Structure formats: C-alpha cells, structure tokens
C-alpha cells in the first residue's frame, strides 16, 4: 500500500522505528562498526526493517553482529479525532 504522505502513514498505524546496527568490518573481523537506520514501520513485525536487513545480508560485505531497535507511534488513538462540522463566521 502506498501512502501520499507521512501523516497518512501515521494514521494507518506506522510509527518511527530507529535501529542501531552493529556489524563486523569486512577486512577486520574483530572490529565492530555501527550504523543507524530510521524509517516509518509497523510493529510488531517491522516489515520495512526486515526488508532492509535482508538487503544488507544479501548485498553488503560486513556481516551483522547485532541489531537494537526502538519504536514509537507518533499519533495515538487519543490524539486524533475527526471533526464532522464546520463553523463559518461572516
């Protein structure tokens, strides 16, 4: 499903996901490098992050060591309500 804006994604349940990815340097296995990834994603399955990690495993040389992530829905049910009326002045 394609969304026209980030706001529509948030209304559909997407939240901001940030992942800290530790990976081994290709030439130096004892060194770890960090990479920060951030995108809108759906909890608890995180399909966007899974696609990115699959791409990493298939196309990049540095093997993954670990992934830590945090997720926060930016618009909750108590923060959004639809207004059905309109008041016109003048």
pLDDT higher than threshold 70 for residue 79: no
Ranges of each domain in the chain:
6-74
The helix (H) or strand (E) run that includes residue 37 is: strand 32-41
Instruction: Kindly report the pTM of this predicted structure.
Output: 0.77
How does pLDDT run across 37-65, given as a tens digit for each residue? 999 999 999 999 999 999 999 999 999 99
Beta carbons within 8 Å of 31's beta carbon, 6+ residues apart: 24, 25
Encoded tokens for 31: 């060194």
pLDDT higher than threshold 90 for residue 20: yes
Distance CA 82, CA 59 (A): 44
Whether residue 39 contacts residue 49, with contact meaning beta carbons closer than 8 Å, is answered with: yes
């Amino acid at each position: 499903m394609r969304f026209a804006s980030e706001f529509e994604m948030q209304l559909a349940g997407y939240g901001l996901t940030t992942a800290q990815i530790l990976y081994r340097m290709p030439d130096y296995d004892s060194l770890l490098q960090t990479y920060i990834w951030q995108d809108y994603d759906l909890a608890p399955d995180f399909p966007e992050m899974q696609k990115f990690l699959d791409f990493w495993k298939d196309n990049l040389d540095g093997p993954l060591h670990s992934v830590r992530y945090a997720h926060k829905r930016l618009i909750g049910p108590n923060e959004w309500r639809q207004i059905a009326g309109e008041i016109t002045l003048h």
